[in-house]
């Protein structure tokens, strides 16, 4: 679908965002508080426009098949919808470990109002990387790739948060299980602070059914405290060997990778090493 006349392109919006951030810093440095507030309002608008331009507008895409007069419920949902990157950030923060888009969507739907549109997750990490390379560290956080412990390459289908320690964003052979157990503990603890909804209970059951000793009652039901206890018990078995491998890989990443590669992985190194050539220490893919 062609872009409507007068609507900025994502590249133009990213340039505008970078300019506004620099202008905000200048205004703050000179003590112009009112100017800084006005510029921050412009900056928030530009960032919302960037989200719409890159991630799409689900309502606009379905406009041809729906009434031109949206329902009151749809209008209310649209007003309350967070940008998709904030939704993903909330879900990942709750999980506390690298996760696949499907799990991220399930967690958000269970614990937060609304849903994450799966189609919007397809290009999210790529867009985050492009934004970082255009203006490094301009955002408080980035949604980035998990890194494989062997090649320091982006792990397929796993998202993390840039503000997490590097060791937390690396995955080795034991990491899928330890991360699964870590997520189970965190979700169970969060659910146990109140009365879990049916969606939360169904999600907890999916975890409990794969953890020995987590199911102590009727099939299909699980107590958050029982799930957390069982997950912690198994986690103790795997945690230390997984931690050592992740720490070793993180040390190599800090030595060999640049800032962008430490967040999004080194694709060239992965290609070279998978072809049988071992990268030399300090080598970077170019």
- State how far the alpha carbon of 268 is from the alpha carbons of 60, 142, 154, 156, 214, in Å: 38, 22, 11, 15, 42
Domain that includes residue 139, residue range: 124-274
Range 94-111 average pLDDT = 96
DSSP state of 174: T
Taking the mean position of all CA atoms in its chain, how far away is CA 119? 15
In the structure, what pLDDT confidence band is assigned to residue 77 with cuts at 50, 70 and 90? very low
Q: Is residue 281 part of a domain?
A: no
β-strands 143-148, 170-171 pairing: parallel
Q: Which residue reads 């203006």 in tokens?
A: 135
Tell whether the model's pLDDT for residue 69 goes beyond 50.
no
Residue 51: name the closest of 24, 17, 94 by CA: 17
Q: How many domains does the chain have?
A: 2
| 136 and 47 together in one domain | no
Q: Is residue 88 part of a domain?
A: no
| 128 and 77 together in one domain | no
Q: Is residue 234 part of a domain?
A: yes
| 25 and 131 together in one domain | no
Q: What is the pLDDT of residues 121-173, one digit of tens each?
A: 878 989 999 999 999 999 999 999 999 999 999 999 999 999 999 999 999 99
| 34 and 149 together in one domain | no
| 48 and 185 together in one domain | no
Q: Are 237 and 218 in contact (CB under 8 A)?
A: no
Q: What is the pLDDT of residues 249-280, one digit of tens each?
A: 999 999 999 999 999 998 765 444 445 444 44
Q: Is residue 107 part of a domain?
A: no
| 49 and 157 together in one domain | no
For residues 219 and 99, the model is more confident at 99
Q: Is residue 279 part of a domain?
A: no
């Amino acid at each position: 679908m062609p872009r409507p006349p007068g609507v900025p392109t994502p590249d133009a919006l990213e340039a505008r965002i970078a300019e506004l951030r620099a202008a905000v810093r200048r205004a703050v440095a000179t003590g112009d508080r009112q100017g800084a507030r006005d510029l921050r309002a412009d900056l928030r608008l530009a960032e919302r426009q960037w989200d719409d331009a890159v991630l799409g507008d689900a309502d606009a895409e379905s406009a041809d098949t729906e009434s031109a007069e949206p329902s009151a419920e749809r209008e209310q949902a649209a007003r309350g919808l967070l940008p998709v990157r904030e939704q993903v950030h909330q879900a990942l923060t709750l999980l506390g470990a690298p996760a696949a888009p499907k799990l991220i969507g399930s967690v958000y739907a269970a614990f937060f109002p609304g849903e994450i549109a799966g189609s919007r997750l397809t290009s999210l990490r790529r867009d985050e990387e492009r934004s970082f390379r255009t203006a490094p560290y301009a955002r408080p956080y980035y949604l980035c790739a998990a890194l494989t412990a062997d090649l320091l390459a982006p792990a397929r289908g796993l998202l993390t948060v840039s503000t997490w320690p590097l060791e937390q964003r690396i995955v080795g052979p034991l990491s899928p299980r330890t991360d699964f157990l870590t997520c189970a503990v965190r979700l169970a603890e969060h659910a146990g602070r109140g009365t879990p909804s049916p969606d939360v209970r169904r999600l907890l059951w999916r975890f409990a059914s794969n953890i020995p000793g987590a199911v102590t009652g009727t099939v299909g039901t699980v107590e958050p405290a029982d799930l957390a206890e069982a997950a912690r018990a198994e986690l103790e078995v795997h945690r230390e060997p997984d931690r050592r491998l992740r720490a070793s890989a993180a040390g190599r990443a800090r030595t060999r990778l640049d800032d962008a590669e430490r967040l999004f992985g080194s694709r060239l190194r992965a290609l070279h090493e998978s072809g049988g050539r071992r990268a030399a220490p300090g080598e970077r893919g170019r």
